[in-house]
A = this chain, B = another copy of it.
Amino acid sequence: MSPEEQIIKIIKGEQRFIVTSHINPDGDSIGSILALGLALRKVGKEVTIFSFDPIPKVYNFLPRIDLITRDIPFSLPKVVIVLDCGEIDSMIPSLSKLITPSSIVINIDHHQGNSKFGDYCYLDPKAAAVGEQIYKIIGLLGIRIDKEIAPSLYVAILTDTGSFKFINTTADTFRIASSLVKSGANPALISQKVYENKPLGLVRLMGLALTTLKLNKKRELAYLTITQDMLKKSKINNPEVRVITDFIRSIQGLKVVLVFRETKGKEIKVSLRSKGEEIDVNRIASKFGGGGHQAAAGCTLKGPIEEMKMKVLEEVELQISTKLNAECGMRNAESNPHSAIRTPNSVGI
């Protein structure tokens, strides 16, 4: 029996569920817990759709988003379904609050390095989003995807593929998107809600930050700095730096993008991005106690900002030259496309 068939059997046999995901939930997490929760409710199951953290307002348009609760039920359901979570300790440290000794924990995820926690684990690193796996599960349960469920699954896939631009986008991704549109997901409306909702302050901040844009001689490395002064001027406390890094990354010819951000506590947060499989920024971030994925990582430093910048920039230059030297020696080496461009789900990247 395949992992997904085992999970179907458990779901069919039980009545009460908690469906949850990692802290600071993203579009895939939110869309997936909501879609699975709604589907199970459609066939009479009792489902708590639970989030450890608040849901970003941008997803308020999703049908029945009000069902997502942050209240732990007084009587805990037996089955705990955890979605889009590769590693419990860092991504969902309070999971124990939802579990009793008799709990059945089901782990459904697409992170390559999933720790395979739980009693049942359906892991598919080829799925662009957990939303694709939930689409399959709902199908196997014989539940029809209606106009309430379809937008949530669409959001899951849309956000985790960066609107069908990341390397995880497959023929299957498009096949499922087509089916979701037939079931009532409106691509333009959802894209508008998700992507055309930037706070004014973020756009102003981008203008200020772009004035600090610098490139190295070979134009492979670009970096800019966000100061506390800029944040004050733009009237924004907690900027979505990802919007800025993504924009800079779109400059032609770049291999690596860095954004240095001063925090109130005089730390320096560094966001690192690379294009495709070129440079492993996770390796660079790890050297400074951070981490992430090959194409997106982050770290936090303490010390004088100019000195810290120099240290990180030197390390990036070293990685670029090492990579280039290695390429000369192994022209025909194949790379695994599925390990590259992925939007990270973890925090602080």
Contacting A165 at CB < 8 Å: which of B166, B195, B197? B195
Pair A203/B276 contact, Cβ less than 8 Å: no
Pair A171/B166 contact, Cβ less than 8 Å: no
Q: Does A293 contact B (CB under 8 A)?
A: no
Contacting A187 at CB < 8 Å: which of B169, B175, B200? B169
Q: Does A324 contact B (CB under 8 A)?
A: no
- The A interface is mostly helix, strand or loop, or mixed, namely helix
Distance in angstroms from A77 CB to nearest chain B CB is 35
Nearest B residue to A209, CB-CB: B207
Pair A219/B200 contact, Cβ less than 8 Å: yes
Q: Which residues of B contact A204 (CB under 8 A)?
A: 210, 213
A188 to B164, CA, bound (A): 8
Q: Which residues of B contact A108 (CB under 8 A)?
A: none
Nearest B residue to A178, CB-CB: B174
A170 to B179, CA, bound (A): 10
Pair B188/A178 contact, Cβ less than 8 Å: no
Q: Which residues of B contact A210 (CB under 8 A)?
A: 203-204, 206-207, 210
A341 to B251, CA, bound (A): 26
Which residues of A (211-261) have their CB < 8 Å from a CB of B? Answer: 211, 213, 215, 219, 247-252
Contacting A192 at CB < 8 Å: which of B191, B197, B275? B275
Pair A191/B206 contact, Cβ less than 8 Å: no
Pair B188/A276 contact, Cβ less than 8 Å: yes
Pair B191/A182 contact, Cβ less than 8 Å: no
Q: Which residues of B contact A198 (CB under 8 A)?
A: 250-252
**Known contacts A163-B164, A196-B252, A250-B198, A182 near B171 by CB under 8 Å:** yes
Pair B275/A196 contact, Cβ less than 8 Å: yes
Nearest B residue to A167, CB-CB: B188
A124 to B203, CA, bound (A): 38
Distance in angstroms from A8 CB to nearest chain B CB is 25
**Known contacts A177-B174, A252-B197, A252-B198, A164 near B192 by CB under 8 Å:** no
Q: Does A337 contact B (CB under 8 A)?
A: yes
Contacting A207 at CB < 8 Å: which of B167, B178, B207? B207
Most buried by B among A179, A191, A204: A191
Q: Which residues of B contact A289 (CB under 8 A)?
A: none
A213 to B208, CA, bound (A): 11
A207 to B215, CA, bound (A): 15
Q: Does A143 contact B (CB under 8 A)?
A: no
Pair A192/B252 contact, Cβ less than 8 Å: no
Q: Which residues of B contact A252 (CB under 8 A)?
A: 196-200
Pair B171/A178 contact, Cβ less than 8 Å: yes
Query: Per-position contact with B for A299-317: 1 when CB-CB < 8 Å, else 0?
Result: 0000000000000000000
Q: Does A347 contact B (CB under 8 A)?
A: no
Q: Does A318 contact B (CB under 8 A)?
A: no
Which 5 pairs between the two chains have the least Cβ-Cβ distance?
Answer: A207-B210, A174-B178, A167-B188, A165-B191, A171-B181
A163-B165, A171-B179, A206-B206 known, 4 other contacts, Cβ within 8 Å: A174-B181, A200-B219, A200-B251, A210-B210
